[in-house]
Structure 1
Amino acid sequence: MLAFSDLPFELLSVILQFVIRPSHLAALCLVNTSFRDLAVPLLYESAYVYPWHNEAKAKVVQLFRTLRDSPDLARYVRKLVIKDFPKALSTAQLEDTWSICSAGLKNCVNLVHCTWTRDGSLNDAILEALLCCQTLRELEINGHHDSQYDPRLLCRFTKLDKITLIMPSGLVIDHLPFWIKETGKSLRYLSLICKARLASPLVNDLLLKTLAPNLHALEELSLLGCPRVTQDGILAVLSENKGEIHGLGLEGLSPSFDIVKFSSARQTSTALSHLRSLTMTVQRPLEIWTRSVLQLLENVPLEFFQVYSPGGADVSILPDDFCAQLVSGHGVRLRRFSVHRMRIGFGAVENICNGCPNLEQLFVVMRREEMKALGPVLAKARKLRSVHINFPLDAATSVTIKDIMADVQTIIRACPETSITQFGCNTRVWQVERVVLRDEGGDLTTETQLVRYERPEVPEQFLVLRA
């Protein structure tokens, strides 16, 4: 019988690509030098620190001390996601921590993406260190500078493809036009994330009109929680665009955002003719909103569709006829269908799975009893990889995690031919693994199992708390 050691060495690098957990990669580094040479770059390629990690604040310091002291390891880092930081320190300790982090960043000579979003954790030294990273192309930061950093430093990032600003302060917004002017030639993605009730009044139509002339190469625009932005600001950006807008996110904008005017203006412009992804907050009255969205999406190559309800009984259910028309017009291309905070009918889900042969992600809200009958329906979507079902919990009925897992197991077993690798319910997410077993007769069978979610990335449906 062949042993693992008999496999050609060339296959080892392919096999290691499927190892997910950092702890497993770390263990592989200890096997021998061949394993180490292949596993170390994978281990350090991406680093994530989230607030819910055990001793997350200590891990930030440990990570950057390693990157500072081991430039041979730091050169493998291409992506850093830092969402926690040890701020409850004395001034001297905080300065020392920032010094460690900035020194570690300077050694990340191949860094492409950096996320640094903990409020009050960013300072001039960190930004100066990031400016030393010549390969940096994607930057996601907390824009609430709070006198911790000089917003003028942002204008020196001139080669970015992607910018995400979270809760930008007034001074940062004041410098945004100058920054966009400097990096506009390369910028492909711009996202402004605010909290609606605390959003700066400076994130408004005038700001977008000021930015628009330098956003001519933009491919994706995402605005979240910006209640001073109407259709006029969005149309100003689209009118200046000389490229192809592929993605548009309009969430928590002004209550006076006129979806009718917006969709009508799209009919006389080619700015959205290449739109592949649309994310929107549902508006009232629902009938006018659904009709206008269908008009907006006429003759566009839509692949990703996401909607969020602002809450309220009148926008609590996405109409079946709207879903049917969306599938009729775009089903052959749709890869993600995502509906949050509003219920979708069982028949609509069945229509989606039947009419979207390339569907990969399905995130919906439905009753638990409907969810339990989903197996045969999901079986029709052969390319489906990720499913998340939110269902309301009845206060009079006790539902345990064990009950939910049993429901999911039943669903998964009813659709063995699909490609589902991830399934979630409410706040839980599991990986779906398929184990090959040999029965007493020697025949091989496949059994599905739900296991702990192991990927370091946050599942798509949990990335942002919607405004």
Structure 2
Amino acid sequence: MVSADNLNLDVLELIFCFLSGNDLPSVALVSKSFLTGVIPRLYSTISYRTRQAKGYATKETMSPFAAIIAHSHLAIHVRNIEIRSVPMLKSRLHPIFVRECKEALQLCKNLNTFKCTVPSVLAVFLPSLQDKQRLENLRIHANLTTDQSQMLQNLIKLQSLAVEFATWNVVDMLPKWTSSISETLSSLTLYMINELHESVLEGILIQLPNLIGLHVVGCPKVDHIVLLRQASKTPLLQSLSLTTSENTYELTFPPPSLRHLRHLAFDTRYTLQPSPSPAILASVLAHLKTSAPSLLSFAIKLPERKVVIGEPFVAQLVELFGFSLERLAFLNCSVSMESVAEVCNKCPHLERLDIAIPMQEVSGFIKSIALSQSLRMIVDVDNHVDHGIRKTLSPDNVTKMFARCRSLRKIVTNHRIWRGRVVDTNVEVDIERRFSHVFGSLWFNPPES
């Protein structure tokens, strides 16, 4: 008789790599061999969030960092740490939690990714990151003093760097720091940094000619004009994210040569009425088209959910890049049914569409997506809350979507994942709960392969 307990440990570890979430601790309770096999996967990622922090303050839960300290042999398996929240005690960082986190960080010698997005917290953890020879991915809320920012320069093997809300101290040392990691760094994200200006950005990019990912979003002094002017220094870019302002100055010619570009994201800001943004967005698309990139994904985020993205812009996007697009995301905005039909009809390789499903026009939406023969996944990016009433996608409408769009396999909504397929003339639909993403990323990051 064959038993799973008799499988080699390396086979069990390989199987458990495909599990996530609550399945991991459940598997650990099956048997000793399962516990041993699942431990590398169970402890590879530690993500500490608000819900856990609330429980820590009331002593209902212990932190995962305390577990690592109590069982130090487990630290070897930790590859990724993300800190989204920190418990507070009398309006201060909880001293016991901070101590646990620092000690656990010291033990995790194989740490590959560290993310800390909590304001004014990074400084206490910086000393524990200094000896991390395998640290390759860093995302930080960089509110630091001059002395603290100097410690960042000791992290010299980074492949991916995301700096958010940085103070002027950090901005000043960025050119020197990026110079020291120029041989390894492939992706750079600068997010919501008021002090970042063109001369600093130029000093950074001139040292990174091999950069393949550049995302400068929410930095008031670096808009689309500045970034496209400096992007000529990084001709190998495969992904680019930028903020478009209402600056009507002409774009610099010649345009940057970005023939390798595959992923593009626009963060659109405007305050004027009427706004010049539609014309600006059109000019940026035309500017980039001269490089003839075959875009695989495009995302755009508008500042107000009630705004309907212009049909001429969608038509231009489809005309220029529709032949290659596999993924489209329209965030924090509405899209007309005519534009949805345009996208589904003229993007022959479209596989994923992130869009706010219009509950008031769901029949028209179903009719529009039926025009696609390649669409496999729809992600509803709207929470559909109107005056306190939550509107949800009904099972009947979900079934109609799968029936009309034969290629469709998955629909993701706020709390649910619907999977469906057409068998003969019947539509088979399964539903499962959607858990929050454990290891978060910024909206403009390119999709994972």
TM range (shorter): 0.7 to 0.9
Q: Which residue of 2 aligns with 1:49?
A: 48
Q: Give the CA RMSD over aligned residues.
A: 3.7
In structure 1, distance between residues paired with 2:396 and 2:442:
20
- Go from structure 1 to structure 2 and tell me whether the alpha carbon gap of 1:19 and 1:204 turns closer, same or farther (over 3 Å shift): same
Which of 241, 247, 255 is residue 256 of structure 1 equivalent to? 247
1:291 Cα deviation (Å)? 2.9
Residue from 191, 208, 213 that aligns with 1:220: 213
5+ residue gaps, structure 1: 438-442
* Partner of residue 349, structure 2: 358
Counterpart in the other structure of 1:20: 20
Secondary structure of the residue aligned to 1:390 is coil
2: CA distance, partners of 1:50 / 1:407: 35
Return closer, same or farther for 1:46/1:463 CA change in 2, 3 Å cut-off: farther
Q: 1:374 aligns with which of 353, 361, 365?
A: 365
Quick one: which amino acid aligns to residue 295 of structure 1? A
- Matched letter for residue 63 of structure 1: P
What is the aligned counterpart of 1:453 among 430, 434, 448?
434
Q: What's the counterpart of residue 236 of structure 2?
A: 244
One-letter amino acid of the counterpart of residue 323, structure 1: V
Change in Cα spacing, 1:289 to 1:235, as seen in structure 2 (3 Å) is closer
Could you tell me how far 1:447 is from its partner in structure 2?
A: 3.4
Percent of residue pairs bearing the same amino acid type? 23
The Cα offsets for residues 108-160 of structure 1, whole Å up to 9 and x where unpaired, read as 22221110111122225x2222222211101011111268x711101111111
Alignment-derived partner of residue 265 in structure 1: 254
Counterpart CA distance in 1 for 2:214 and 2:287 is: 16
Deviations 1:248-293 (A, max 9, x none): 1112x654264x415x432xx42x1111111113464244224313
- Measured in 2, the distance between the counterparts of 1:165 and 1:348 equals 35
Q: Given residue 79 of structure 1, which amino acid in structure 2 is its aligned partner? A: N
The aligned residue for residue 440 of structure 1 is: none
What residue is the counterpart of 1:334 in the other structure?
325
Give the match for residue 30 of structure 2: 31
SS at match of 1:334: coil
Which residue number corresponds to residue 183 of structure 2?
Answer: 185
| 1:315-334 Cα shifts (integer Å, max 9, x gaps) | x3323343234223323421
CA drift at 1:404: 3.2
Give SS of 2:206's match.
helix
| TM-score scaled by length of structure 2 | 0.83
Q: C-alpha separation between the residues in 1 aligned to 2:19 and 2:377?
A: 18
Q: Distance in 2 between matches of 1:447 and 1:459?
A: 31
Residue 73 of structure 2 is aligned to residue 72 of structure 1: yes
Say if 1:430 and 1:451, in contact at 8 Å, map to a contact too. yes
> What displacement does 1:373 show?
4.0
Asked if the contact 2:77–2:110 (Cα under 8 Å) also holds between the matched residues in 1, the reply is yes
Give the total of aligned pairs. Answer: 434
Q: Is the contact between residue 373 and residue 405 of structure 2 (CA under 8 Å) also seen in structure 1?
A: no
Give the whole-Å Cα distance in 2 for the aligned partners of 1:107 and 1:34: 25
Q: Which amino acid aligns with 2:324?
A: R
TM-score by length of 1: 0.80
CA contact (8 A) 2:330 2:355 kept: yes
Q: CA deviation at 1:176?
A: 1.6
Aligned match of 1:274: 260
Cα distance, 1:189 vs structure 2: 1.3
Is the aligned partner of 1:414 residue 2:407? Answer: no
| CA distance in structure 2 between the partners assigned to 1:101 and 1:26 by the alignment | 22
Alpha-carbon distance between aligned partners in 2 of 1:462 and 1:63, rounded to the nearest angstrom: 27
Work out the CA distance in 2 between the residues paired with 1:57 and 1:80: 18
The 3-state SS of whatever aligns with 2:43 is: helix
Shift of 1:351: 2.6
User: SS where residue 80 of structure 1 aligns?
Assistant: strand
